[in-house]
Amino acid sequence: MKFLNQAKRFGAVVALGALATPAFAAGGIGDIFAAVDLTTVAAFVIATGVLIVGVAMAFKGIDLSKRAVRKA
């Protein structure tokens, strides 16, 4: 329990440190969001989704073929 409490406290410190804008930053967190190109993020998410669905369908195909062989 002690370790869990320390982890929660450390996580909160890291989150606050990441969201805090330093004194020398002109635009703040808006500049960080503007620097991220969402087209590449969207392409990565779509490609990952297609990969996951493909693997799931491959496993399902194997299960269906096993069932067909057992029934024959």
pLDDT tens figures, 36-60: 778 888 899 999 999 999 999 999 9
Range of lowest pLDDT (11-15, 62-66, 67-71):
11-15
Q: Of residues 52 and 6, which shows the higher confidence score?
A: 52
The rounded percent of the chain whose pLDDT value lies above 90 is 35
Residue 22 has pLDDT above 90, yes or no: no
Domain ranges of the chain: 1-36, 37-72
Query: Quick one: pLDDT at residue 44?
Result: 92
Local structure of residue 26 (DSSP, 8 states): S
